[in-house]
């Protein structure tokens, strides 16, 4: 259809290349249909224009159909249908899509996670080993002095069990009426309690266990009675 067409004066239409080939083959200028020898020719483009218009219409129809189908698909994905079954299926697909998106967005490197767990276990083992070594040997007077300084810097002025004031040498005394002094005991973890409170708690919680745990930090300890 895109080939140039020729209109003869006898009202017949041919492709220009076909007419030229026919004239070359017959060696004379005559109309292939009516055999008229004398005619005039005129090149016309009506067929090409019609073909182009038809192609443009088809392209536009395909594009409009694509746009409408895409719009309808987006509408189906965003707006729930009114039918009960289709509405249920719509929300099930939505929940599945959201769950899959969350799982895909959560990325965990397994090797890195296992390495971090190994590092944490190694640190915990070292800490426990230090505690075992510390609790396994008898503390010297120098160690007790350092632990007592830690307790004083922390500002331990009352027993964490009974919440009554402690009578510890070096601790500030209150301005109220003097209370009967009770013996205080210093633990190797630097926490201070009334001796009677700690003994009662040990008997109540652990009975005759060979090693006790501090009520505050839960670490095994050695204890020393402080001078009032």
More confident residue, 51 or 84: 84
**Residue 209 counted as domain residue:** yes
**Residue 108 counted as domain residue:** no
216 vs 190: CA distance, rounded Å: 11
pLDDT by residue (tens digit) across 135-182?
A: 556 778 888 888 888 888 877 788 888 888 887 555 444 444 555 677
**Residue 146 counted as domain residue:** yes
pLDDT, average across residues 94-118: 78
**Residue 42 counted as domain residue:** no
Using the predicted structure, report yes or no on whether residue 132 has a pLDDT greater than 80: no
Using the predicted structure, report yes or no on whether residue 215 has a pLDDT greater than 80: yes
**Residue 166 counted as domain residue:** yes
**Residue 16 counted as domain residue:** no
Q: Is the distance from CB of 23 to CB of 29 less than 8 angstroms?
A: yes
pLDDT by residue (tens digit) across 112-121?
A: 878 888 888 8
pLDDT, average across residues 124-129: 69
Residue 67 Cα distances to 54, 145, 216, angstroms: 20, 84, 70
pLDDT of residue 62: 93
What is the domain range of residue 163? 139-171+181-225
Q: How much of the chain, in percent, has pLDDT values that exceed 70? A: 82
pLDDT of residue 117: 84
pLDDT of residue 121: 81
Number of independent structural domains in the chain: 1
**Residue 159 counted as domain residue:** yes
More confident residue, 108 or 73: 73
Q: What is the CATH number of the domain that holds 149?
A: 3.30.40.10
Q: How much of the chain, in percent, has pLDDT values that exceed 90? A: 6
**Residue 189 counted as domain residue:** yes
pLDDT of residue 65: 93
pTM of the prediction?
A: 0.38
151 vs 192: CA distance, rounded Å: 7
Question: Which value, to the nearest 10 degrees, does the dihedral of the CA atoms of residues 173, 194, 159, 140 take?
Answer: 90
pLDDT of residue 175: 47
Q: What is the DSSP string of the chain?
A: --S-EEEETTS-EEEHHHHHHHHHHHTS---TTT--SS--EEEE-HHHHHHHHHHHHHHHHHHHHHHHHHHHHHHHHHS--SSHHHHHHHHHHHHHHHHHHHHHH----HHHHHHHHHHHHHHHHHHHHHHHHHHHSPPPHHHHHHHHHHHHHHT--B-TTT-PBP--TTSPPPSSPPPPP--EEEETTS-EEEHHHHHHHHHHHTTT-SS-B-TTT--B--EEEPP-
């Amino acid at each position: 259809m895109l080939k140039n067409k020729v209109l003869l004066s006898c009202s017949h239409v041919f492709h220009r290349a076909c007419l030229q080939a026919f004239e070359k083959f017959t060696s004379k200028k005559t109309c292939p249909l009516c055999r008229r020898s004398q005619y005039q020719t005129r090149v016309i483009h009506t067929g090409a224009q019609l073909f182009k218009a038809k192609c443009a219409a088809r392209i536009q129809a395909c594009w409009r159909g694509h746009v409408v189908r895409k719009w309808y698909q987006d509408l189906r994905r965003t707006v729930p249908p009114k039918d009960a079954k289709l509405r249920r299926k719509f929300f099930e697909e939505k929940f599945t899509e959201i769950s899959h998106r969350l799982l895909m967005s959560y990325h965990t490197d397994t090797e890195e996670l296992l390495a971090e767990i190994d590092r944490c276990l190694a640190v915990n083992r070292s800490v426990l080993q230090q505690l075992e070594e510390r609790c396994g040997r008898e503390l010297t007077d120098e160690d007790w002095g350092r632990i007592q300084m830690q307790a004083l810097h922390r500002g331990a002025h009352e027993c964490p069990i009974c919440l009554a004031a402690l009578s510890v040498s070096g601790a500030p005394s209150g301005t109220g009426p003097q209370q009967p002094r009770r013996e205080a005991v210093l633990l190797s973890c630097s926490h201070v309690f009334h001796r009677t409170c700690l003994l009662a708690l040990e008997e109540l919680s652990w009975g005759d266990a060979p090693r006790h745990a501090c009520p505050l930090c839960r670490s095994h300890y050695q204890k020393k009675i402080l001078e009032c």
